[in-house]
């Protein structure tokens, strides 16, 4: 039976670089693994009243079920103001509630950050790691994945261009799969 790795792109924009990278990862799933994008686009802002008063939006239920169904996670995030986008933080919050029922617990993760700038989303990468520590998601430490100049990584169809960056991403995926095997 294949292991399922969920991929979460931390951006809402239709042409987001994170979504394009996430789509590129789908083709990199090795034998015995299935990569699956888990959308976060339709999640209302987390409000504990939804859980407390049994008025949970259907999108929360679907999202939580999708996370429960995967064995591991790769987060692909842009950097907004030296941190993670609010939509990604919201998804983390939705999955962590109600208290004591987190769907994130002990699912091996990896963080791939990106930015059109030269530091490749360094701030977002580390802020996300801090959140994942609290959620008890063990995170691959090496290689660190900071993808700079993300606006230059794609061809006219939106696919990852062949070259050094695509090769690096493939090596990072392979390192994650190896690390996943030791931590699942």
Average pLDDT value for the chain: 97
Tokens of 98: 């109600």
Whole-number pLDDT of residue 40: 98
Q: Are 144 and 179 in contact (CB under 8 A)?
A: no
Joined together, the tokens standing for residue 179 give 């690390």
Q: What stretches of the chain adopt beta strand conformation (E)?
A: 3-9, 33-37, 72-78, 109-114, 145-147
Domains of the chain, start order:
3-183 (3.40.50.360)
Residue 22 and residue 53: Cα distance in Å, rounded? 35
For position 1, what pLDDT does the model report?
83
| pTM for this prediction | 0.97
Task: Answer whether residue 72 shows pLDDT above 90.
Answer: yes
pLDDT tens column, 100-141? 999 999 999 999 999 999 999 999 999 999 999 999 999 999
Q: What is the pLDDT of residue 57?
A: 98
């Amino acid at each position: 039976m294949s292991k399922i790795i969920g991929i979460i792109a931390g951006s809402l924009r239709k042409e987001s670089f994170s979504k394009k990278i996430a789509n590129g990862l789908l083709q990199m799933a090795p034998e015995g693994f299935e990569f699956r994008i888990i959308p976060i686009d339709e999640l209302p802002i987390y409000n504990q009243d939804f859980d407390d008063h049994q008025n949970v939006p259907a999108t929360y239920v679907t999202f939580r079920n999708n996370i429960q169904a995967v064995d591991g996670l790769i987060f692909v995030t842009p950097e907004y103001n030296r941190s993670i986008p609010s939509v990604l933080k919201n998804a983390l919050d939705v999955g962590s509630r109600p208290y004591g029922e987190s769907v994130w617990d002990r699912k091996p993760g990896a963080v791939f950050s990106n930015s059109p700038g030269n530091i490749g989303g360094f701030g977002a990468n580390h802020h996300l790691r801090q959140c994942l520590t609290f959620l008890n998601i063990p995170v691959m430490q090496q290689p660190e994945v900071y993808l700079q100049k993300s606006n230059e990584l794609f061809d006219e169809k939106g696919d990852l261009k062949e070259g050094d960056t695509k090769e690096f991403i493939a090596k990072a995926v392979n390192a994650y799969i190896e690390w996943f095997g030791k931590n699942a």
